[in-house]
Amino acid sequence: MFRSYFRSLPLWVALAFSTALVVATAVRPVSAFPKPSVFPISWELKFEHSAPKRIVVRTPGTINPVAYWYMTFTVTNNTSEEQRFLPVFEMLMGDGTVIRSDKEIPAGVFDEVRKRERRKSLEPMEKIAGRLLIGEDQARDGVAIWREPTTRMGTFHIFAGGLSGETVIMKEGQEIQIKDWTKVTDAEKKKLTTLRKTLDMTYQIPGDEIKPEEDAINSQGEEWVMR
């Protein structure tokens, strides 16, 4: 029925209709915000991590000790080829504030974390980034560190990026496919946003600022998102 209707249309209408169908299949509407593929479509690293932990450190040059949060992790390349590991860890607070890890963190904080964890293999973020060789025996141990944003942490997210090669290109709120980047101008590139497969870990910490070091750290689950 649909085919007979399509054949009865004037040629210019049929062409316009067929073009619209092609565009509709290439662009995803805003209502269907991109989610990671159900099946692997790119390389992905094995990622194991601890729960976030609080540590109070007095570093040289400071009068009072300062509280920090950190997450240790192990990343392993079980793919078929060497990968470039460029980790990006962000903490999202309940008020919408986003804090990038390892920004203006005194070197002494990492030393205290490694001492507490008793892991000589632990590496700071700037050293763990780079080539990641294949195999379990080439796994790397790292740590992401944030200065404590508030003593009432409540519910917050930690996003770990750089673990997968899966990406989505967005333009004006819609997903698009680009087959030939050489034909994309610099002006057009500025209108594009790249979303990457990222691990979203949610935590909830009850309590107040009286004794924050004693508050339980409860995992609320984790999932892959495009961010």
pLDDT of 81 higher than 80 = yes
Please determine, for residue 66, whether its predicted confidence score (pLDDT) is greater than 50.
Answer: yes
Give this prediction's pTM.
Answer: 0.80
Residue 16 lies in a domain: no
In order, the DSSP letters of 192-205 are: EEEEEEEEEEEEEE
Q: How far apart are CA 195 and CA 173, in angstroms?
A: 11
pLDDT, tens digit, for every residue of 162-176? Answer: 999 999 998 888 888
In a domain, 37, yes or no: yes
State pLDDT tens for residues 127-136. 999 999 999 9
Is residue 106 domain-resident?
A: yes
Q: How far is CA 195 from CA 11, 32, 106, 176, 185, in A?
A: 39, 14, 31, 12, 20
Query: Given this model, what pLDDT does residue 32 score?
Result: 57
Residue 112 lies in a domain: yes
Q: Does 13 map to a domain?
A: no
Average pLDDT over residues 25-49: 76
pLDDT computed for residue 77 by the predictor: 98
Question: Which range of residues forms the domain containing residue 45?
Answer: 27-226
Q: Rounded mean pLDDT of the chain?
A: 85
Domain count, the chain: 1
What are the distances in angstroms from CA 97 to CA 33, 143, 155, 209, 225?
Answer: 22, 21, 12, 19, 18
Note whether residue 14 is domain-resident: no
pLDDT digits (tens, 9 = 90+) for 101-138: 999 999 899 999 999 999 999 999 999 999 999 999 99
72 within a domain of the structure (yes/no): yes
Interatomic CA distance for residues 217 and 58, integer angstroms: 23
Ranking 1-15, 66-80, 88-102, 130-144 by mean pLDDT, the lowest is: 1-15
pLDDT tier at 208 (50, 70, 90 boundaries)?
A: low
Query: What percent of the chain has pLDDT above 90?
Result: 63
Averaged pLDDT for residues 186-196: 88
